[in-house]
Structure 1
Amino acid sequence: MRVSSFLALAALVASAVSSPATPYVVHEKRTSIPTPWQKRDRLSGETKMPLRIGLRQRNMEHTARFLKEVSDPKSPNYGKHWSQEKVAETFAPSDDTIQRVRNWLTASGVEEDRISLTKGKNWIHVKSTVDEAERLLKTQYYIYEHDESGQPHVGCDKYYSLPYDVSPHVDLVMPTLHFDAKVMSREQYLTKRSDRIPITPGKPKEKSIGKGYHRVSPKQGATLASGALADDLALCDQQIVPACLRSLYNIPESNSTTSAANNSYGIVEYTPQAYLPEDLDMFFANFSPKLVGARPTFQSIDGGVLQTDQVDFSYMGESDLDLEYAMVLSYPQNVTLYQVGDTVNGASFNNFLDAIDGSYCEYEGGDDLQQDPQYPDTSGAEGAYTGPKDCGTFEPAKVISTSYGYDEVALTAPYEERQCEEYAKLGLQGVSILYSSGDYGVAGNYGQCVDSDSGSLFYNDGTSGSFVPGFPATCPFVTAVGATQVIPGTNIAEARASGTQPEKACETRIYSGAGFSNVFPMPDYQAETVKGWWDKGLAGTYTEKQFNNSQSTRGLPDISANGANYVVAVVGEYNLVYGTSASSPVFGAMITKINDARLEAGKASLGFLNPSFYANPAMFRDVVEGSAPGCGTDGFAAVEGWDPVTGLGTPEFPAMLEYYMGLD
């Protein structure tokens, strides 16, 4: 799990910054600033800037083994998930770790009353100034500005250091090198960039949703009149509706009106994304009349609100898509909507994780120049959430689908590893975590690629560059879901009757997010399958300049589901919608239905899915057509067996249900 960070740390010891009293080592560094951020002014030394120190947790080197014991179908402990208390106790930092970091701080002149330990003992919070932070970390802090929006971000320059005897006890310090920056409201965003030249002239610029510049967002297609909606399965290559998905994957329509009492399905959305109730009813009236009037169970996290100040596709498209299909396909299971962040600060994945796991919480209170938005929000702005920070307030659902993500290169390895560990902890508790793999093939957010010489991101204009995988999809403890489409001209009923695959890798409006991580090693459950891909020589002529071809890192996606031509009711109109934003919640609905059957039979929820997927790939229908181009290349191609475009293929629901019902 931590191979990359340990090797990086060892390699950097030689560049240690030291003094006779306290030798330091570089703890984290970056080679370039992610596009389109620009370094501006130094921060004033008197500026208040609380530091958060993520403490090294115990037993993290055993995480993969622990998770395998409860998620590998060959294990005698399959399905014997851990309690949240056992998880917290197993991974809490040692007393020695806590004390070493405290001793360093106090010896450096930080008074005890400015040092606090979080409830989960995972983070130490230090009330500090920029001057003090720079002295403690041997670095310099700057204001960075986002070229398009004018959005400011605070971070240190190139690297920061820690005492050599403290560094092994710390995962990361924030804020430092990470560009998971807050975003403005749309009005502020448009005002700021009204006099700026778009980076890609002639193309509409996609707006950031929630916190940071996310990788996955649905793409809007043609608007359809109600009378133009297809009701013939022969037209599923042009319009995807629930009946098409049931036919594609043999998903039965439930006649029951109740589900297992302890089953649950959660969809995560980040403000200002919101759904419109009338859109749900418009969709349900056409495709599931029994659901008219039904609403997801609303869970407001850190001031999450269903805003209606901005009402258009860019604000409602994601939530309407996710909920309309998740609710129809998982019926009679009610869907929980985790709405995260207020309309001022937005939110990050860490805000959501705080809310469902109190031991993960960084600290309570505070609103300053931080990496993740802090609550209560003391900005005084209209709409700011001033209530208490949600810390372990909500129960995690059995299945959680998220259609958002970041470029792996925009965050540091320790940041990603620490968050990935939290997904492993959720898997230990019987939670299935699904993430969309991305919509730009082997390229990153908005088609960005990396200059292989400088390490800088640039917007792809046909120039060859290094591929950019997305995070958290690259985390080996989540299930990464790619996208397919019905092959044009294909009647899916006829294709299924003849035993042929009616789908190919998605190549309409989007390309399935694909490739190999630059951070995470290849997990054991994937090794044999992915080795088969490498053994066939399918990497083509690409070299280490294009992607991590070490044959030792995590490949994605794991599986795929349809992501093209979805009919979605958005702001009173039907639109065709495209993206892995559709694939993930649809697949999550299938896992939810399997959980329901298992729970009714007295069995455990599925929890972490990947080991059982790779152990029984016959549950999926192989995809052998299409590709995932990007960065001036054709990218990778869908081929026989697992491939870094569509993974193991598309689900066969009856085969999955039979397999999982046969497990204890």
Structure 2
Amino acid sequence: MLFSQFVATLGFISIAGALPSQKRSTTYVLKERHLVPRSWRKLGPASKRDTLNLKIGLVQQNPGAIEQHLMQISDPTHERYGQHLSQEEIDEIVAPPKESLDLVKSWLEEHGITNYVPNKSKTMIHCAIPIGKAETLLNTTYSTFKHEDGTEINRAPEWSLPEFLLDSIEIVQPTNSFFHPKQHLVSDNNAWHDAAWWKSEGEQTYPQAFAGSADGQYGQAYESNINGQPPPVQGAQVPQFGQSQPQQNGQPSQGGFQPPQGGNVGGTIDVSQVCQGKFVTPQCRRTLYGTIDYIPQAPNQQTVATTNYLNQTVIRSDISLFMQTFRPDASNIGNEINIVSIANGDVDQNISPQKIGDLTNQEANLDAGNIESIAYPIPLTAYHTGGSPPFQPSAATPDNTNEPYIEWLDYMLALDQVPQVISTSYGDEEMTVPRSYAERVCSGLAQLSARGVSLIVSTGDHGVGKNGQCIANDGSGDKFVAVFPASCPWVTGVGATAGFNPEVATYRFASGGGFSYYFDAPDYQKSTTQAYIQTLGSQYGGAYNPNGRGYPDAAAHGDHDAIVFNGQVSTMGGTSASAPTFAGVIALVNDALIAAGKPPLGFLNPWLYSVGYQGLTDIVSGSSSGCNTTGFPAQQGWDAVTGFGTPNFRQLVQLAFNGPTDGSSALPKGGQRK
């Protein structure tokens, strides 16, 4: 079905279901109430003079249409597979009726608000107004709340609208969203050393970490790319990387694809030669996942990206030093990174003493180093998003109280060209946001995925929840904690592993995993997650939502990864390390596809759950401990700890070119796969 035909089938929905009522009742009606999360406490009334950058999200046309479209273009067996949408085509589907936009504009003007700015698609209106004005506009009261980490914000746990606007406005933020993005980064408490130490003592302390890499030697196959010309490409043919194992009820048989025990995964260097348990370098990760001898063929035909919040910024000099130390052929990448500021996001390359003391920028550096040390020379863009345009601190509210995630989405959805792979290492507990906020953000992520973007998201570092903090907002009982946006069905959640032969779920910290309370399990994974839940029996009954979207979808190594910060070298861990690593591998799969004239993978999950899982190494040991329990167990096939497992690049490329290996339908029809 062509795009025009698809949109035509939605026309009746647009006309019959989207037009707002013209009745102008000015009676205010409660629109939404959200309980304050337990990690926040109320301090007192907010200063009415403080400014909010209010975001008013209009009800979009054709609810569910983007998701329907996304499933079609992401299903390898569908005729529209790979036919990703443009920004204009998405706007055509979701743009609200003009009547809705006019009603909201007139409402704002009646309150003396004329400085509003609609976004490109007219789905969101931005206006900077004093809190006192916002309280009148929304018939609410803002208070100042303090997070357990010391952050202070202004929020209104409930808000209202005039009755005539209930069908026109979906969300208004910041009101009752307590979303507080946290970096999924775990300290190793290891010493930091300068480059001179590495040259004199590092190789003796971590000999395997330097095997074949300290002098720039990456094995014969890759060395030819440094010193000479890459080997010729034989048309669009894919190298035969081995045979796939058969499916058994939608699960990989015999534990999925396992790298040879002590064998040669990368082709020229043995994993045991380059992987040091306490110090994981790019050389190790590239060898472990089989990308070490792959030479990108079309690097300038796609872009990879990372996202940063919390005043994090990629420091070019640190990335250059990281590459000089661990991947010399990419030593210039630090100066080539495209750093983009969104909503006053920090891009300052001069590291202040305060930032050094606060360890700010470690997350941004780890993300950039991990994704680009695999994906190089594919260009990298780093998006740095602040909380508002602009924010004026006051004595009462010294912190930025505005919401950054919608700012980033609004910016991305307006771009004509978007990266093919984006890695995000930030998230928060799902219960910190109201359902309307989660659904709106998730819908925006679906729109971005429909553009052909693979959205890779970390799943957190606290397993099923921090011990002693697994209580629902309403105090109704113990609940495992879901992490957002990993719980959104339209992203690919990535957990973390440790060790090498075999890899296991991390144990120094617990990789995040579980089931959403807001989003049902989508069709592409329903039979898979239900099969896993059946193996749990009555264990943890009532502590999680058995019908929810399960995550993670996959995993990658995320423990003791090398990092450079402030010119010093050490190690860190977390799903913040595993997500960009997995993203880098997917970027190389895209490279092989693009070089052969094929579209990039885009939204991975329908392909991953039906075909791609055969190219992941199953992780069968460990658990997502937390909430004073051992959490969900890793086991054969998909699990809520490591998903389907870690990437085997050669198998993934083979599967991306050839599709299902057994001729089965990609998506389940009425339940079980054949």
Aligned to 2:504: 504
1:448 Cα deviation (Å)? 6.8
* 2:465 counterpart (443, 468, 472): 443
Aligned to 1:625: 621
| Mapped partners of 1:280, 1:514: distance in 2 | 30
Aligned to 2:646: 650
| Mapped partners of 2:627, 2:321: distance in 1 | 40
The reply on whether 1:352 has 2:408 as its aligned counterpart is: yes
| Mapped partners of 1:126, 1:569: distance in 2 | 40
* 2:277 counterpart (237, 240, 258): 237
The reply on whether 1:226 has 2:202 as its aligned counterpart is: yes
1:27 Cα deviation (Å)? 1.7
1:555 Cα deviation (Å)? 0.8
The reply on whether 1:283 has 2:260 as its aligned counterpart is: no
Specify the code of the residue in structure 1 equivalent to 2:511: S
1:165 Cα deviation (Å)? 4.4
* 2:498 counterpart (467, 485, 495): 485
Alignment of 1:191-590 (within 5 A): 212-223=180-191, 226-227=202-203, 228-231=205-208, 233-234=271-272, 235-255=275-295, 259-270=298-309, 272-295=311-334, 296-302=336-342, 303=344, 304-305=346-347, 306-309=349-352, 310-311=355-356, 314-341=359-386, 348-358=404-414, 392=415, 395-443=417-465, 449-452=469-472, 454-455=474-475, 465-486=478-499, 492=501, 502-508=502-508, 510-536=509-535, 538=536, 540-544=538-542, 546-548=543-545, 551-590=546-585
Aligned to 1:171: 170
Aligned to 1:604: 599
SS in 2 for 1:58: coil
Aligned to 2:72: 69
| Mapped partners of 1:238, 1:43: distance in 2 | 49
| Mapped partners of 2:457, 2:468: distance in 1 | 20
Specify the code of the residue in structure 2 equivalent to 1:534: I
Aligned to 2:258: none
SS in 2 for 1:421: helix
CA 1:141–1:426: 2 relative to 1, 3 Å: same
Structure 1 segments unaligned to the other structure (5+ residues):
1-19, 181-211, 359-391, 457-463, 493-501
| Mapped partners of 2:74, 2:53: distance in 1 | 39
1:651 Cα deviation (Å)? 1.4
**Residue 254 of structure 1 contacts residue 331 of structure 1 at CA under 8 Å; is this kept in 2?**
no
1:24 Cα deviation (Å)? 4.5
SS in 1 for 2:172: strand
| Mapped partners of 1:48, 1:568: distance in 2 | 38
CA 1:552–1:293: 2 relative to 1, 3 Å: same
Specify the code of the residue in structure 1 equivalent to 2:554: I
**Residue 36 of structure 2 contacts residue 473 of structure 2 at CA under 8 Å; is this kept in 1?**
no
Deviations 1:271-322 (CA, angstroms, capped at 9, x unpaired): 6323444433443234322122332422221343134113368223222322
| Mapped partners of 2:323, 2:46: distance in 1 | 54
1:101 Cα deviation (Å)? 3.6
The reply on whether 1:82 has 2:85 as its aligned counterpart is: yes
| Mapped partners of 1:335, 1:50: distance in 2 | 30
**Residue 31 of structure 1 contacts residue 455 of structure 1 at CA under 8 Å; is this kept in 2?**
no
* 1:57 counterpart (52, 55, 60): 60
CA 1:152–1:565: 2 relative to 1, 3 Å: closer
SS in 2 for 1:32: coil
| Mapped partners of 2:504, 2:511: distance in 1 | 11
The reply on whether 1:26 has 2:65 as its aligned counterpart is: no
SS in 2 for 1:525: coil
**Residue 40 of structure 1 contacts residue 145 of structure 1 at CA under 8 Å; is this kept in 2?**
no
| Mapped partners of 1:115, 1:335: distance in 2 | 33
SS in 2 for 1:637: coil
SS in 1 for 2:625: strand
Specify the code of the residue in structure 2 equivalent to 1:80: Q
Structure 2 segments unaligned to the other structure (5+ residues):
1-23, 194-200, 212-270, 392-399, 661-674
| Mapped partners of 1:516, 1:604: distance in 2 | 31
| Mapped partners of 2:311, 2:137: distance in 1 | 37
TM norm structure 2: 0.75
**Residue 73 of structure 2 contacts residue 82 of structure 2 at CA under 8 Å; is this kept in 1?**
yes
**Residue 487 of structure 2 contacts residue 516 of structure 2 at CA under 8 Å; is this kept in 1?**
yes
Structure 1 stretch displaced more, 270-279 or 551-560: 270-279
| Mapped partners of 2:382, 2:125: distance in 1 | 31
**Residue 218 of structure 1 contacts residue 317 of structure 1 at CA under 8 Å; is this kept in 2?**
no
| Mapped partners of 1:334, 1:120: distance in 2 | 28
| Mapped partners of 1:437, 1:255: distance in 2 | 30
| Mapped partners of 1:448, 1:63: distance in 2 | 39
CA 1:83–1:247: 2 relative to 1, 3 Å: same
| Mapped partners of 2:83, 2:645: distance in 1 | 28
Aligned to 2:153: 153
TM norm structure 1: 0.76
Specify the code of the residue in structure 2 equivalent to 1:64: E
1:426 Cα deviation (Å)? 1.2
SS in 2 for 1:145: strand
SS in 2 for 1:629: coil
1:152 Cα deviation (Å)? 3.4
**Residue 456 of structure 2 contacts residue 583 of structure 2 at CA under 8 Å; is this kept in 1?**
yes
| Mapped partners of 1:354, 1:283: distance in 2 | 32
Specify the code of the residue in structure 2 equivalent to 1:289: P
Identical counterparts, % of pairs: 31
Specify the code of the residue in structure 1 equivalent to 2:453: V
1:267 Cα deviation (Å)? 1.8
CA 1:427–1:148: 2 relative to 1, 3 Å: closer
**Residue 215 of structure 1 contacts residue 470 of structure 1 at CA under 8 Å; is this kept in 2?**
no
1:111 Cα deviation (Å)? 5.0
Alignment of 1:115-154 (within 5 A): 117-125=118-126, 130=131, 132-146=133-147, 148-149=149-150, 151-154=151-154
Deviations 1:325-350 (CA, angstroms, capped at 9, x unpaired): 22221123232222333999678223
SS in 2 for 1:350: helix
CA 1:89–1:448: 2 relative to 1, 3 Å: farther
| Mapped partners of 1:641, 1:609: distance in 2 | 17
**Residue 442 of structure 1 contacts residue 469 of structure 1 at CA under 8 Å; is this kept in 2?**
yes
Aligned to 2:255: none
Number of residue-to-residue matches in the alignment? 547
1:642 Cα deviation (Å)? 1.1
* 1:638 counterpart (634, 653, 665): 634
Deviations 1:418-472 (CA, angstroms, capped at 9, x unpaired): 111111111111111111110110116xx6724248449xxxxxxx932221111
Specify the code of the residue in structure 2 equivalent to 1:30: H
**Residue 115 of structure 1 contacts residue 124 of structure 1 at CA under 8 Å; is this kept in 2?**
yes
Aligned to 2:261: none
Specify the code of the residue in structure 2 equivalent to 1:230: P
| Mapped partners of 1:656, 1:451: distance in 2 | 40
Deviations 1:8-48 (CA, angstroms, capped at 9, x unpaired): xxxxxxxxxxxx9655543211123441332412544x766
Structure 1 stretch displaced more, 624-633 or 347-356: 347-356
